[in-house]
Amino acid sequence: MSVHVVIGFGPAGAATARLLAEQGHSVRVVTRSGGSPEPGIEHVPLDATDGERLTEAARGATAIHSCAAPPYHRWADAWPPLAASLYATAEATGAVLVMLGNLYGYGPVDGPLTEDLPLKATGTKGRVRAAVWERAHELHAQGRIRAVEVRASDFFGPGVTDGGHLAGRVVPSLLRGRTVSVLGDPDAPHSWTYLPDVARALVRVADDARAWGRPWHVPTEPARSAREMVDLLAARAGTGPVAVRRTPPALLKLAGLFSPLARELGEIRYQFDRPFVIDSHPYETTFAERATPLDVQVDATVTWWRERLARAR
């Protein structure tokens, strides 16, 4: 089997690395701090913005999976050097550059989000992410690298602990039968992408030339509101019904005085104050793969969180 390099070992990077290892590939995970060895996975401690060292780590690799991201409040200054290192490494090694993206680059849109929409983000983070892909696409068109971007909506599932959408405080709260606070309108339709489906897409496009040179949306189940998702999770957990309330905008503004993360949420509030729906039909049709059934997603998420909380006692 082949060698794959995974940049970052957060939820998406870890899920991708482990899936690749399960399939028999050799995996090198690049993080600043390194990590404990796992079957089929080698951890390489280095700063991914160091293009020379990253190129050496990626020698002989079939693909480079970019799953890392700078701290949320540092995207404007930290993404460009990381992206430049990724481009240079992909060009020097010939490995396919598989980028995990999000939907920020589209900006506010009326109607479902599709891959052919222009990237017209108005906020800083959206413009940064759009620029990262646009440069990769330009280099691909010039024949200098082979690149593809996989875009996901807010993801949840086993391994996802950060964020306040369907992770972080939300699932632990509903497991205890407590009121859940969510960002934005709890009744607005919203797309939620299941983490194992993200990993599956990142692995699939690396090995299929039909995928290269364009973005793809990860297969995602039909949109449901935050209230609907909390109801489903609570019902599976046996703790429902659980009250769902909107986090007051004034409270978020106050939190922003002390938290860089909370301060940055203002840019993406539109994603939760109005319908935010992803269309993943092109991927599903091209690769004959659909999202994991929602009941399986819910069951696995509740089971994983219960086990995690039990270990923490």
Q: Are strands 147-151 and 41-45 parallel, antiparallel or unpaired?
A: unpaired
According to the model, what pLDDT value does residue 162 have? 79
Positive/negative CA dihedral, 94, 50, 67, 23 = positive
According to the model, what pLDDT value does residue 37 have? 82
Q: Choose among 155, 185, 183, 172: nearest CA to 256.
A: 183
Residue 261 confidence (pLDDT) above 70: no
Separation between Cα atoms, residue 304 and residue 310, nearest integer Å: 10
According to the model, what pLDDT value does residue 99 have? 98
Q: What is the DSSP letter of 186?
A: T
Helix axes 11-22, 195-206, angle to 10 degrees: 60
Give CATH 3.40.50.720 domain extents, the chain.
Answer: 3-154+192-217
According to the model, what pLDDT value does residue 268 have? 83
According to the model, what pLDDT value does residue 257 have? 63
**Beta strands of the chain (E only): which ranges?**
3-7, 26-31, 41-45, 63-66, 96-101, 147-151, 154-156, 180-182, 192-194, 215-217, 244-246
The more confident residue out of 162 and 82 is 82
Condensed to tens digits (0 to 9), the pLDDT of residues 1-31 reads: 799 999 999 999 999 999 999 999 999 999 9
Give CATH 3.90.25.10 domain extents, the chain.
Answer: 158-191+222-276+293-311
How far apart, in Å, do the first and last CA atoms of the chain sit? 41
Residue type, 104: Y
> Which fold would CATH assign to domain 3-154+192-217?
Rossmann fold (3.40.50)
Q: What distances in angstroms separate CA 232 from CA 2, 94, 172, 192, 226, one per listed residue?
A: 40, 45, 14, 13, 10
According to the model, what pLDDT value does residue 167 have? 76
Q: Choose among 96, 95, 70: nearest CA to 81.
A: 70
Condensed to tens digits (0 to 9), the pLDDT of residues 114-154 reads: 999 999 998 999 999 999 999 999 999 999 999 999 999 99
Condensed to tens digits (0 to 9), the pLDDT of residues 33-77 reads: 988 888 999 999 999 999 999 999 999 999 999 999 898 889 999
According to the model, what pLDDT value does residue 256 have? 61
According to the model, what pLDDT value does residue 252 have? 64
Residue 164 — very low, low, confident or very high, per pLDDT cuts 50/70/90? low
Condensed to tens digits (0 to 9), the pLDDT of residues 174-205 reads: 999 999 988 889 999 999 999 999 999 999 99
Residue 265 confidence (pLDDT) above 90: no
Residue 247 — very low, low, confident or very high, per pLDDT cuts 50/70/90? confident
Residue 165 — very low, low, confident or very high, per pLDDT cuts 50/70/90? confident
Condensed to tens digits (0 to 9), the pLDDT of residues 104-114 reads: 999 999 999 99
Mean pLDDT of 195-218: 98
Token couple for 272:
């939760």
Pick from 126-140, 249-263, 271-285: least confident: 249-263
According to the model, what pLDDT value does residue 267 have? 82
CATH numeric code, 158-191+222-276+293-311: 3.90.25.10
